Amino acid sequence: DAGVTQSPTHLIKTRGQQVTLRCSPKSGHDTVSWYQQALGQGPQFIFQYYEEEERQRGNFPDRFSGHQFPNYSSELNVNALLLGDSALYLCASSSDGLPSTDTQYFGPGTRLTVL
């Protein structure tokens, strides 16, 4: 049973560019959440997708957008990259059966460096 997978592992971009990160949830999971983990910090919630729609969003600008596909996989897009966007981007999946009590499983993350 494959866990949460993310691609790519590492990515280097320059300021102003755009980036797309990808996530495949754990088998049987239908909800995908994205987090940003800056160096020395805990993960911060970006947004969550369920049934191909953004269900809730954290305190991130509109430059951060996402998508969920019918197979539950998801993409995170960041436009007009800033130096401060350099971070580890984590994807977490869960099942929506019991929204308040289920557990999120995390992928290995994508390390984004913006130069």
Partner 1 sequence: AQSVSQHNHHVILSEAASLELGCNYSYGGTVNLFWYVQYPGQHLQLLLKYFSGDPLVKGIKGFEAEFIKSKFSFNLRKPSVQWSDTAEYFCAVNTGFQKLVFGTGTRLLVSP
What are the residues binding partner 1 (CB under 8 A)? 31, 33, 35, 40-45, 48, 55-56, 58, 90, 92, 94, 99-109
Query: How far, in Å, are 22, 37, 58 from residue 44 at the CA level?
Result: 18, 6, 8
CB of 94 to partner 1, least distance (A): 5
- Residue 72 or 81: which CB sits closer to partner 1? 72
Neighbours of 111 (CB within 10 A): 15
Is the distance from CB of 50 to CB of 8 less than 8 angstroms? no
d(CA 49, CA 73) in angstroms, rounded, equals 10
Give CA–CA dist 44/35, Å, rounded. 5
6 vs 81, beta carbon nearer partner 1: 6
Which CB sits closer to partner 1, 68 or 81? 68
Q: Which is nearer to partner 1, 18 or 56 (CB)?
A: 56
